[in-house]
Chain A
Amino acid sequence: MNTSRPAQQASFSLSPHMDVVLEFRNVRKVFPGTGKPIHALHDISFRLRQGVVMGLIGPDGAGKTTCLRLAAALLHPDHGQITVLGMDPGREAQTIQANIGYMPQRFGLYEDLTVQENLDLYADLHELSPAARLSRYHRLMAMTGLAPFMERLAGHLSGGMKQKLGLACTLLGTPRLLLLDEPTVGVDPLSRRELWAIVSRLVQEEGTTVLLSTAYLEEAEQCHEVIVLHEGRILGYGSPADFQRTMERAVYHVQSRERRARVLQMALATHPSVVDTVIQGEAVRVILADSTSHTVNAVSTHVPDAFLTPVTPRLEDWFVARLTQQPSREGLPGDDSLEGFPSASSPTSSRDSAHPTIVVRHASRRFGQFDAVKDVSFTVLPGEIFGLLGANGAGKSTTFRMLCGLLPPTGGALRVAGVDLRHAPAAARQRIGYMSQKFSLYRDLTVLQNLEFFSSVYGLRGSTRTARTQWALEQFGLTAWTHAVTDQLPLGFKQRLALACALMHHPEILFLDEPTSGVDPLARREFWRRITWLAEQGVTVMVTTHFLEEAEYCDRIAILSAGRLLTVGTPEEIKERARSDARPHPSLEDAVITLIEADSARS
């Protein structure tokens, strides 16, 4: 395997000069958890030089936030040394904190204060003189475009605007080191792109050094240096190009004229040289164990009807390849199919557009003066994977709650399997499985107790219940964890358990509300392969996500922005609409940005 660690030496070989802004030397951090201590960071070392944008990338629980808080002198290491701007955080925390900028998760804004009042507070805290204040405001307004919103309460801003205000507040003191904790989570792609523009401008014009964390692997490309964190350890450290180089000619698009992408994917996944497969539009993106021509040929002959095209590797490819090498990874029995799960009477091949499973007609939902969802219409066919995409506050959750019958619409109609779930008999609900954002598990019950509870909720009794619980434990690879308390499970396993709980009663329709947020890419892929398998069995899947790349796994997607439906279609159709001469191969992100821009130009 050539998916080894990228050139770590490259960053360290630079002489330890004065221009090192932040340095971690064998930093360890342990938190006293309930029961056993949690090792958040294991002997982390890195150096951040002046004017560099460094990204801390990894799933939830990787140690990103702990790293940033240590750098901000908000936490102290249990072992090792940290130097910030040449100072020791243990002794000079106050001076360090006065000279750096830090934006915590969710931006740390006073939501009941206006934009202006938030800025004034931070200007006061930085003791800016009236003249300095004016010029700084002017500059930050130009950067962030907040000027028209000065009198608005911060809590009433969109996610993207909050993010920019949070950033503006931290920038009032002209910090030399900027620490940003997940600045782009839950924010629409346009705002994300704008944030990156601001960051690169700061680096160029003010020489700012930036350390930021993100769960979006594709954002690594925007950084000068990347640290991939996983379970408190540095998995990889280098420039985005370093990561890419190690995966050169090991990533391919595989497309067949005869077989559909999903069928092809299942064939590819069983090949021993294939590390990973993902659906991407009409094609399957495949990561090979190595880039030798021998391996490439072996895979080509395995799928004679398909052709392989090498594609540019991404950080995610490297990450996935790296994670699969880890021995600790608990494999699943065989593939990701769920043996024993009933196949629908009418399989997907006969996708019946005359009898849609979900119908949403002009649905609206107002909260006071605020339109959370406005005139949204779409239909979902049996056996389809339908994605609902949008930033925080776009209306995904509200639409979802209306579909589940948890929230009455203020206008329009929503029908699931022919009934309005608001006054549906239990029998109709019996056909639906639901898995929510926070995984909706009882965290202090064991895995078995959770499974038993959910099966009893769906009316399974006696031997059926015992059999179904056993089925779930086996099929989801949870047998080893049967009596473990749910809270102690790794995130990926919690996600498996949550899906198992939602499937205990073999539903025909599955609602998934941000099912993959925070889990590592491997767990995310495993989850999607299962969902794909379920859809093949005829289960209709409705899923929300703010990961745009996940949209590629859906048959069709609806994109929401500020409560309105921007578009519905297959990922390919939506990309097609954004195609222009300047951009012959737009990504889905490009397409969404084009849509948002066109929409805001209209309104």
Chain B
Amino acid sequence: MTESPGSSASRVVTAPAPRVRAIRLRGLIRKEFLQVVRDPSSIAIAFFLPVLLLVLFGYGVSLNAKHVPLAVVAEKPDSLTAGLTASFRHSSFFDLSVYSTMSEAEQALRAHQVQAIVRLRENMAQAFTSQDGAPIQVIVNGSDANTARLILGYIQESIAIWLEHLERAGRVVLPIPVRIEPRIWFNPEVESRHFLVPGLIAVIMTLIGALLTALVMAREWERGTLEALMVTPVTIQEILLGKLLPYFLLGTGGLALSVAMAIWLFQVPFRGSFGVLAGTGALFLLVALGMGLLISVVARNQFIASQVAILATFLPAFILSGFIFDLKSMPAPIQVLTYGVAARYFVEILQTLFLAGTVWDLILPNAMTLVIMALLFLGLSRWKFRKRLD
């Protein structure tokens, strides 16, 4: 294997190598896994962060209003006000405090001890039987508009339930000719966790696919290992596949972990097909990996790579994917922007699969968009990535 000193220098030793060789790819993949295992920050991004996010969003963030501190001001307590107060007290939505004067209640509202005040005036009993009816004053802390609207709804509902009870008891005749009987589909308990957790899976996979991939690639630029690697028989395809395959596997692990946690820990119903979930999940991972690789072509240090990855992939997946904020209530220009966010399509697929089932009419167009995006990003990174430093 040693060469004699006098051998001709212009002779080419190796014929043009095939584009992907199993032995080289195996070496690269093994190296990547060893690095993941030894680098605490990779493990943190791949495993710790997903679990943390799931627990945080599964338990911590709830868009339901429950145990809202509520003040009821009964200016002249009697059996009528007692009935209404009891109706609030029995509702799991409220934690009740009863005050006898409005000023005390207002103070509590200002001190954030209560979120809303229901004022039952002293003339309520008389007004109740009069033509005009008895007005009930409701004051809600409106600083969080969503919660305020929810609280208002709950209060109205509680009052309606109380009136119904009175009617059954034959004490009043309600002038309501039409009764609304609400049926909420797909998420009958109106449990926000049930649509948050599936959506979160898309965010987690963006994290592993795009952020982690961009970071590990930038690290190779930074430490000069990629430079050393380039001057070997390795091909561009092998370098890219050597990154793609390990992080694809890692992302699949993240997907499985998240789905398992969603179903068993958070009791989110799953009504679709696991096969479709696996297929579309793989598709979305390819999109995320494509974005990560593309970022690493441009960003050659870890700081810039993380900034770009967070701004271009993670934050949009968080804010503009419909995972937490409703896309239809966004201003039109922002809505247009969301069509460029890959996570948006996967969030819709996930929410459909979990809460509705395998609805092909919804899944197919989203999956097709993901196919196009995967081809676009992977193709661009293949095209842009050179074994060159300029």
Contact = CB atoms under 8 A, between A and B. Distances in A.
Does A associate with B in a complex? yes
Interface residues of B, number: 44
A574 interface: no
Interface in B1-43: 1-14, 16-17, 21, 23-24, 26-28, 30-31, 34-35, 38-39
Contacts of B234: 125
A125 B228 contact: no
B34 A111 contact: no
13 contacts: A31-B390, A50-B6, A51-B5, A98-B232, A108-B224, A108-B229, A112-B35, A113-B35, A127-B23, A127-B24, A153-B38, A173-B233, A174-B1
Contacts of A61: none
Interface majority SS (helix, strand, loop, mixed), chain A = mixed
Given A20-B9, A76-B388, A124-B24, A135 B224 contact: no
What are the nearest 6 A-B pairs in CB distance? Answer: A124-B27, A108-B228, A207-B5, A86-B10, A102-B231, A98-B233
Contacts of A75: 388-390
A207 B6 contact: yes
A8 interface: no
Contact of B231 (A31, A72, A132): A72
Which residue, A99, A111, A204, has most C-beta atoms of chain B within 10 A?
Answer: A99
A122 interface: yes
A444 interface: no
B26 A124 contact: yes
A98 B14 contact: yes
B387 interface: yes
A94 B227 contact: no
A110 interface: yes
Interface string B203-247: 000000000000000000001110111111111000000000000
Contacts of B3: 174, 176, 206-207
A279 to B, nearest CB: 37
Nearest to B15: A95
Given A19-B8, A19-B9, A75-B390, 12 more contacts: A18-B9, A72-B230, A74-B227, A74-B388, A94-B17, A94-B233, A108-B224, A124-B26, A176-B13, A204-B5, A206-B5, A207-B7
Interface majority SS (helix, strand, loop, mixed), chain B = loop
Nearest to A112: B38
A102 to B, nearest CB: 4
A50 B232 contact: no
A125 B16 contact: no
Contacts of B7: 207
B1 A132 contact: yes
A524 interface: no
B5 A93 contact: no
Nearest to A169: B228
A339 interface: no
A125 B388 CA distance: 18
B31 A117 contact: yes
Interface in B78-101: none
A109 interface: yes
Interface of B: 1-14, 16-17, 21, 23-24, 26-28, 30-31, 34-35, 38-39, 223-225, 227-235, 387-390
Contacts of B230: 72, 74, 97
B23 to A, nearest CB: 5
A208 to B, nearest CB: 8
A64 to B, nearest CB: 15
B235 A110 contact: no
Given A76-B388, A106-B224, A124 B23 contact: yes
Given A121-B27, A125-B234, A127-B23, A21 B9 contact: yes
Interface in A269-285: none
A42 interface: no
Contacts of A105: 224
Contacts of B229: 108, 125
B2 A206 contact: yes
Interface in A230-255: none
A404 B227 CA distance: 37
Interface string A61-101: 00000000100111110000000011100000111011111
A53 to B, nearest CB: 13
A173 B11 CA distance: 16
B14 A95 contact: yes
A136 interface: yes
